[in-house]
Amino acid sequence: MTIMAKSKPTILNTLIPYVAAILIALAAVGVFIALMGFDVLKAYYTILFTSFRTPNGFIQTLLKFIPLVLQAYAFTVPLAAGKFNIGGEGQLIVGAIGAAAVGILLPDLPPLLLIPLVLLGGIVAGALWGFIPGWLLYKFNINEILTTVLLNFVSFALINYVATGPWRDPAAGHPTTIPIGRGGYLPLLVDNPPLHAGIIIALLVAVAVYFYTTRSTAGYELVATGANPRAAGVFGINVKYMFVLSIVIAGGIGGLSGAIEVSGVQHRLIEGLQHNFLVLGLIIGLIAKGNNMAVPFVAFFIAVLEVGASAMQRTLMIPVEMVFIVEALVLLFVLLSDVVRRK
């Protein structure tokens, strides 16, 4: 009797569902754009190529990529352990508060000291914010989805309090703090248009997350916990501890994204600096199907769509919501591809 070996999926087979999902999503949205009376080809050209036509467009895409990839990892790291962190937005905000606090309280430190301290302040604040739902899960078995979502709302009140409190900028017409010390500004890699060193930090985090989850013992325990918690417990892995650890790591990454926004972009704490990073981070993590190697590529694609959407709205007067529909449909069709493959 001949036994046929099961072939491993090739890169081409892996990419086909993504390419098909993008094409189908663009075709579906193209129908709506055409019915609204707009030029479909011009709209698609603007969405897909704005990021590559000019240096400014490309750098704006990279600046959008930084918080998106970090927010996606704040979702996929706990996902590897079978947990859902929906609190990336709150962790970003609290991380931004921690970074701003360090930068405002220690404004005269030299860059060599202040920059690492500002980033560390964001990481620690975000990790502590992630520890709260982790501890509630560990101690009382309270679902992390509920607690991380509710903590987002707490963070909204917290940033409002800080931005309108003693550190507020009286000259600003929006809840905003005074600037951090200039020594806390991330150095620029490109001056005009400006691109700060946060892109290097984001890429280093991507490499670190990949090696942690695929090449380390602790990462193996994390993935084993997510694959089968009961079996992991039988083989001596402290499952509850891994649950908490995954959310704390996610909180630190989310906090880092807030620190980079303060240190590299805003140079102060501004209410609303989180934009829609949480939703896009979740979309990226789901499209990547929790694959940490795929996350940076998906994040860059979403960043391209976001920058293109703004250009499309400015130049063609097409509602930016069309790109939201594209992103949602890409996610839907990628997830449906698994169903089609099984059938």
Portion of the chain with pLDDT greater than 70, in percent: 95
Residue 163: predicted pLDDT:
94
Most distant CA pair in the chain: distance in Å? 82
Q: Which of 22-31, 96-105, 267-276 has the highest mean pLDDT?
A: 96-105
Comparing 47 with 13, which gets the higher pLDDT?
A: 47
Residue 11: predicted pLDDT:
61
Residues 6+ apart with CB under 8 A from 105: none
pTM of the model: 0.93
* Identity at 161, one-letter amino acid code: Y
CA angle 274-279-280, nearest 5°?
A: 90
Residues 6+ apart with CB under 8 A from 155: 89, 90, 91, 93, 94, 129
**4 pLDDT tier (thresholds 50, 70, 90):** very low
CB 258 within 8 A of CB 96: yes
Other Cβ atoms within 10 Å of 274 Cβ, number? 25
**10 pLDDT tier (thresholds 50, 70, 90):** low
Residue 301: predicted pLDDT:
93
Among positive and negative, which fits the CA dihedral 295, 296, 302, 303? positive
Whether the predicted pLDDT of 3 surpasses 50: no
Residues 6+ apart with CB under 8 A from 289: 334
**6 pLDDT tier (thresholds 50, 70, 90):** very low
Both tokens of 195, joined, read: 């691109």
Comparing 165 with 338, which gets the higher pLDDT?
A: 165
Q: What is the pLDDT of residues 171-192, one digit of tens each?
A: 888 999 999 999 999 999 998 8
Comparing 340 with 60, which gets the higher pLDDT?
A: 60
Residue 9: predicted pLDDT:
54
Residue 274: predicted pLDDT:
86
CA angle 156-119-301, nearest 5°?
A: 75
Helix (H) / strand (E) containing 188: strand 188-190
Residue 5: predicted pLDDT:
40
What is the CA 194 to chain-centroid distance, rounded? 21
* Identity at 232, one-letter amino acid code: A
Work out the mean pLDDT of the chain and round it to a whole number: 91
Residue 1: predicted pLDDT:
39
10-24 average pLDDT score:
76
Q: What is the pLDDT of residues 81-118, one digit of tens each?
A: 999 999 999 999 999 999 999 999 999 999 999 999 99
The full length of the chain comes to 343
Whether the predicted pLDDT of 213 surpasses 90: yes
**275 pLDDT tier (thresholds 50, 70, 90):** confident
Whether the predicted pLDDT of 268 surpasses 90: yes
Residues 6+ apart with CB under 8 A from 94: 125, 126, 128, 129, 155, 158, 255, 258
Comparing 13 with 196, which gets the higher pLDDT?
A: 196
Is the preceding omega at residue 193 within 30 degrees of 0, hence cis? yes
